[in-house]
Amino acid sequence: MATLKGKVAVVTGSTSGIGLGIARSLAGAGADIMLNGFGDKAAIESLRKKLAAQFRVRIGYDGADLSKPAEVHSLIAHAVAELGGVDILVNNAGIQHVAPVDEFPDDRWDAVIAINLSADFHAIKAALPQMKKRGWGRIINIASAHGLVASINKVAYVTAKHGVVGMTKVVALETATTAITCNAICPGWVLTPLVQKQIDDLARREKLSETEAKRRLLAEKQPSGDFVTTEQIGALALYLCSDAAAQIRGAALSIDGGWTAQ
């Protein structure tokens, strides 16, 4: 597997869920990490220290709100100033909102598009010159099964994630003759706070136990009947950083328990 000693990775939305799983996996291979995301200040500082001690790498933190382009640029600048550059960019931060299209609140549309789609563009634009300067790079965009197929009541999310898959292809083509690659990972259901909220809503709406709500959620989309784990996604991201993956370019890699095979 990849040795990432001396490499710097920015992982957006890494205070929780999939982003944290990826940060752990890259730190485990020796990369220095710039964490980003929201949460309790003290808890984030304790997480930062714990990861640094466990993996013996440098771990920074930047609380940039990725819905604001200027803060996306300052996140990348912070990584360069504190950790010396950006070799790996994982665009992971994301939010969800569920409502039918004719009732979908305008401000939720704007927020989902800003965080799940536009932030990826701004971060790539800011980080790519760093990778070109160093002659190597990995851009990994966390899309979704919803980057490949649709579901009802998720118009902003599905639009953003399909956009991320398209953006991934353009960036991969523009960097095709370099040692910089750009790919998307398309997970199915992963049990993170983002999905727990949808389970809680389903349980409340249909008067189900939590276990039954989880089973129903999986049964509807994910043939394996099991959640994808953050460790499995971390391992796939790490593989994409390896030399073995140097010719994987512009791919949208499914890790979805069979969701999009149907």
Given 74, 192, 229, 232, the residue binding ligand NAD (CB under 6 A): 192
Q: Which of residues 142-171 bind ligand NAD (CB under 6 A)?
A: 142, 144
Least distance between ligand NAD and beta carbon 238 (Å): 16
Residue among 65 and 82 whose Cβ is closer to ligand NAD: 65
Does 190 participate in binding ligand NAD (rule CB under 6 A)?
Answer: yes
DSSP code, position 222:
-
> How many whole angstroms separate alpha carbon 78 and alpha carbon 66?
14
Number of neighbouring beta carbons within 10 Å of residue 62: 18
Q: Are 128 and 76 in contact (CB under 8 A)?
A: no
CA dihedral 95→199→153→91, nearest 10 degrees, is 20
Confirm whether 61 is a catalytic residue.
no
Q: Are strands 32-36 and 252-255 parallel, antiparallel or unpaired?
A: unpaired
Q: Is 257 in the site for ligand NAD (CB under 6 A)?
A: no
Which of 223, 157, 155, 159 has the alpha carbon at shortest distance from 188? 223
Residue 135 or 193: the one with the smaller Cβ distance to ligand NAD is: 193
Identity at 243, one-letter amino acid code: D
According to CB under 6 A, which residues from 59 to 118 bind ligand NAD? 65-67, 92-95, 115-116
Q: Which is nearer to ligand NAD, 35 or 172 (CB)?
A: 35
Binding site for ligand NAD (CB under 6 A): 13, 15-19, 36-39, 65-67, 92-95, 115-116, 142, 144, 187, 189-190, 192-195
**Which residues are known to be catalytic?**
157
